[in-house]
Amino acid sequence: MVLEKHKHHHAGKSSRAIISASEVFDLLNLPQGITFLDAGCGDGYFSIEAALKLGLKSIIIAIDIHKESLEKLKQEVKKRKLSNIEIIEADITKKLPLKDKSIDVYFVSNVLHGFDEKEKEELVKEVKRLLKKDGKFIVIEFKKEPTPVGPPLEIRISEEELKKFLENFGFQFEKSWEVSPYNYLSIFRFME
C-alpha cells in the first residue's frame, strides 16, 4: 500500500486517551539535562510530560507537520509557562533543521505505522544522523493484533518486525514494555 506524502494514517489524532505519558516517563527513567526529540508530536502531550519530568536543563524538541496540532501545543506551553520546549513545524521523513549528533533521545509514538517503507527508511536515516553516540530511539506502536482502537491491522508493525527493520539500520534492541492494552514501547540504541 503506497501512501501519498503527508497522508499519514490517523494524522493529528492523539494517543492521550489510551497511553499515560506520566507512566511512560516513569518507566523510561531518563536523566535530566538531555535533548529529547518528540517526532510527530501531535498535540504534544508527551512533549509536555517530558518538559515536566526531565527538568529545565533538558531541551524538548516537538516536531509535527500538522499546524493545528502544534497550535494546541503552543497554547498549552504558554498556559503552563514552559520554557524548555522548542516547537518545529516539519516533515519527520525529511532532513530536519537540527545539527548532526544533537539528540539524546529520539521518541516517536504511534507514528511509524502510517508511513510507507521508503518514508520509514528516510525517517530512520534521519534518526541515525541526529542521535548522539549511545543515543536512544524509543518507539511506541500499536500491537499487531485486533484491538478496539488503532489503525488497520495490515499497516501495524509487530515488535519482531520493528526489531528486524531497525537492526538492518544498525540499531540494537534494548528492551520493551506494554504501555497500554493496545500498545508496546521498544527502546533501541544506535550502534555505530
Per DSSP, 156 falls in state -
> Tens digits of per-residue pLDDT, 146-178?
999 999 999 999 999 999 999 999 999 999 999
Average pLDDT over residues 99-128: 97
For the chain, which domains are there? 36-110+121-146+160-190 (3.40.50.150)
> Tens digits of per-residue pLDDT, 69-110?
999 999 999 999 999 999 999 999 999 999 999 999 999 999
Predicted TM-score (pTM) of the model is 0.92
Query: The C-alpha cell of 156 is what?
Result: 501495524
Q: What is the pLDDT of residue 13?
A: 56
Q: What is the pLDDT of residue 12?
A: 46
Tally of CB atoms within 10 A around 143:
18
Closest CA to 38 of 48, 29, 23: 48
Dihedral sign from CA coordinates of 119, 8, 134, 166: negative
CB–CB of 40/106 below 8 Å?
Answer: no
